[in-house]
Copies of this chain bind each other. A is one copy, B any other.
Amino acid sequence: MLSNQLHNGLETAKLLWSRIPNSEDGEVDGGSLLRNSNGNTVESLDYEVIENYAYREEQAQRGKLYVGYYVAVKWFLALLTGIGTGLAAVFINISVENFAGWKFALTFSIIQRSYFAGFVIYVLINLILVFSSVYIVTHFAPAAAGSGIPEIKGYLNGLDIHGILLFRTLIGKIFGSIGSVGGGLALGKEGPLVHTGACIASLLGQGGSSKYHLSSRWLQVFKSDRDRRDLVTCGCAAGVAAAFRAPVGGVLFALEEVTSWWRSQLMWRVFFTSAIVAVVVRTAMGWCKSGKCGHFGSGGFIIWDTSDGQEDYSFEELLPMAVIGVIGGLLGALFNQLTFHITYWRRNYLHKKGNRVKIIEACLISVITSAISFGLPLLRKCNPCPESDHDSGIECPRPPGMYGNYVNFYCGKDKEYNDLATIFFNTQDDAIRNLFSAKTIHEFSAQSLLTFLVMFYTLAVVTFGTAVPAGQFVPGIMIGSTYGRLVGMFVVNFYKNLNVEEGTYALLGAASFLGGSMRMTVSLCVIMVEITNNLKLLPLIMLVLLISKAVGDAFNEGFYEQQARLKGIALLESRPKYQMRNMMAKEVCRNQKVVSFPRIVKVADAVSILQSNLHNGFPVIDHVRNGETLVIGLVLRSHLLVLLQSKVDFQHSPLPCDPAGVSKSIRHNFSEFVKPVSSKGISIEDIHLSSDDLEMYIDLAPVLNPSPYVVPEDMSLTKVYNLFRQLGLRHIFVVPRASRVVGMITREDLLIEDSEDPASVELHSTSGASSI
């Protein structure tokens, strides 16, 4: 009788649930985050449809109008993400350009009198900028170190790494980037901008940062990890779009490189965000054209226009281009391997010694970088300026205080330039512009380029992994364009008749190194085309990328994958491992002890179960008539903790609270079950209950997910993996094989026509859709 009643209550709950319309996507879930059982700060995210009763109740109260509001908010937040990321990018660029501009202007004016004083000033300014960056990162926002892309990749794969999407991380990233890039280290600001975009998106998605009292109640609409994840994807695309002024490249980067799940509806919103960024950046640059932004303007956003370069190519050139691809693959794979080992050593030995060591390390590298970039050009003899360059608009030597080719540095005569200083004693953006430049054949000597390649490669390897925000795009382009230009020089000497531009080879070299290191394909291709504004080279870039990626893949994984592995971010790849085909589902959970809850649980039992293990989800098992058991759903630790903390659902009797209608038993707002991103949530240790409370009972029926996905125990693990990975799940129940089949679902059963008529939807929801 008792179990019968329990069963009836459950049936009522199901019936009610089947009546309640859901949100726009039908894919909103309880958004629970909890510490993993391995105890570190990497947490799992839930992208599945977890429809517990509280959620459904909330949806029912709001209805259709709410759905429209929800969609509007999604687009509005994408708009804000675009604007915010665009403004952040403009701010970083203006700051970096101004710091670097002042620095070089001051140094150049001092070296007119004393090269030593100039050197000291140059080193000091760089040191101060790098010190401020590393100080901000170590003391204020430790999660802002590095590029941030592996962490964002992890987040979008379903892992929440503690701290990466906080407000302080955002601030640390922005100001840290300004210091580290302005301070002339061998790193870029593009990776950090992707992280910045993701942070802005995440903060908007959870309605601000409550810790800094910047939250807004009316923005707190997103209650599921899925919606937040989508917005973070928009943020990533916005970051790339802003960093490279490459809106389409941004969309593709988000698609190819960072997201793990992608829906075509999302593409449309990501595209919108990127377009907004393009408009914001263009507006800001238009505003700066009148000289209001100091040194920003001629340099600034990286667009290395090569549209006046080589128009066409001949088939003989395909061989040297293939050589560039191979070099890119080899150097890229070597770069990944070296950074992997150095970062491993740093994480496990050096950085364990505390913040002081991190600061000293970064400062030391800053001094070395400054010394090399200032000192090496001094050792290099100047070359006389080439003749008859007046028609191309390129002056030699370049006028003081300007950007351009042919830097006069430590030269005896006026009409001379120092080719090593042209690339080394310069901001990276300008150095790349010089390397990419057309109509400057024989500007650089092979010796200078080789010297620069070796030194900069070493610096880039050593610098990555210090406790400052650091991107790898621009250093990669520097390295690649140097050896590309070297190959280009040989081509110019070898095929004398052709209209070959060394700058084109530099561009292909840049593409090849990025391909060999990061292993991106389509997105990198589009980014390269967008930043160089030259569509004609697209087939060549594709060719070079194909080769360099294939060569690199023969040696190791991509840069971001390696860094993610190093940081303990275990990404679920899109395809199952080879061994899984030989395993069954029950084998992987062979050593597990399944801890389950009954439907009505005593509070004391619940507390002791939660204390006894670190599981995040528990099956709920009910006893039905004739003593048989039935799995009635999944309850999440985080939801149980909310129930235990609030105590309002406690009841005295071990009977279902209200067999006639479950609705009255819900005293919780769904939003109470939602936890902010990047925080730790409640723990069982935080909950203190009186002995009276411990004697009471809770009915779990309203908070459980009534139908988690199940697999039979002898299913191949490959298939289980596909299920888990494709649907973004967090828990799968392994159950015994069924004894009978109730029905088969095929394509035709799922082709239900969308009824446009709201009345018929109402009808369906009342009648339980019996007519279909």
Contacts and interface: CB of A to CB of B under 8 A. Distances in A.
A319 interface: no
B247 A578 contact: no
B587 A542 contact: no
Interface string A566-610: 000010101111111111111111101010100000000000000
A30 to B, nearest CB: 14
B267 A522 contact: yes
Interface string A432-471: 0000000000000000000000000000000000000000
A419 interface: no
Interface string A736-758: 11111111111111111011000
A614 to B, nearest CB: 11
A715 B706 CA distance: 8
A723 B709 contact: yes
Nearest to A530: B535
Contacts of A572: 747, 750-751
Given A18-B583, A21-B581, A732 B745 contact: yes
A741 B248 contact: no
Q: Give the number of times this chain occurs in the complex, counting copies.
A: 2
Contacts of A586: 742-743
B713 A742 contact: yes
A649 interface: no
Contacts of A282: 539
A38 B731 CA distance: 37
A719 B709 contact: yes
Nearest to A576: B26
A279 interface: yes
A744 B530 contact: no
A264 interface: yes
Contacts of A44: 746-747
Contacts of A617: 744, 746
A707 B718 contact: no
A718 B26 contact: yes
Contacts of A724: 745, 747, 750
A322 to B, nearest CB: 13
Contact of A575 (B265, B274, B592): B265
Nearest to A770: B587
Contacts of A713: 742-743
A735 interface: yes
Nearest to A751: B570
Contacts of A574: 263-265
Contact of A734 (B271, B585, B741, B752): B741
A27 B723 CA distance: 13
A526 interface: yes
B720 A745 contact: yes
A272 interface: yes
A719 B709 CA distance: 8
Contacts of A506: none
Nearest to A45: B747
A689 interface: no
A36 B539 CA distance: 44
Interface stretch (A191-199, A391-399, A623-631): A623-631
A749 B264 CA distance: 30
A49 interface: yes
Given A521-B268, A579-B772, A723-B709, A631 B739 contact: yes
A710 interface: yes
A589 B765 CA distance: 17
A509 interface: no
A615 interface: yes
Contact of A764 (B256, B579, B585, B615): B579
A718 to B, nearest CB: 5
A653 to B, nearest CB: 26
A764 B580 CA distance: 10
B741 A578 contact: no
A721 interface: yes
A14 interface: yes
Contact of A768 (B267, B587, B735, B739): B587
A475 interface: no
Given A247-B542, A248-B526, A710-B711, A733 B737 contact: no
A722 interface: yes
Contacts of A576: 26
Given A570-B747, A579-B755, A709-B723, 17 more contacts: A21-B578, A25-B575, A263-B575, A272-B546, A278-B538, A278-B539, A572-B751, A589-B742, A621-B740, A630-B739, A631-B737, A631-B738, A707-B716, A707-B719, A735-B738, A735-B741, A736-B742
25 contacts: A20-B582, A25-B575, A44-B747, A247-B542, A268-B521, A268-B549, A271-B521, A533-B536, A570-B748, A570-B751, A577-B752, A579-B752, A579-B754, A580-B752, A586-B743, A588-B772, A589-B745, A592-B744, A594-B743, A631-B739, A631-B740, A730-B747, A734-B743, A735-B738, A735-B740
Interface of A: 14, 18-22, 25-27, 36-38, 44, 49, 51, 158-159, 247-248, 251-252, 255-256, 262-265, 267-268, 271-272, 274-275, 278-279, 282, 307, 521-522, 525-526, 529-530, 533, 535-536, 538-539, 542-543, 546, 549, 570, 572, 574-590, 592, 594, 596, 615-617, 619, 621, 628-632, 706-707, 709-727, 730-752, 754-755, 761, 764-765, 768-770, 772
The 7 closest A-B pairs by CB, nearest first: A589-B743, A735-B738, A707-B715, A275-B542, A734-B743, A732-B745, A278-B539
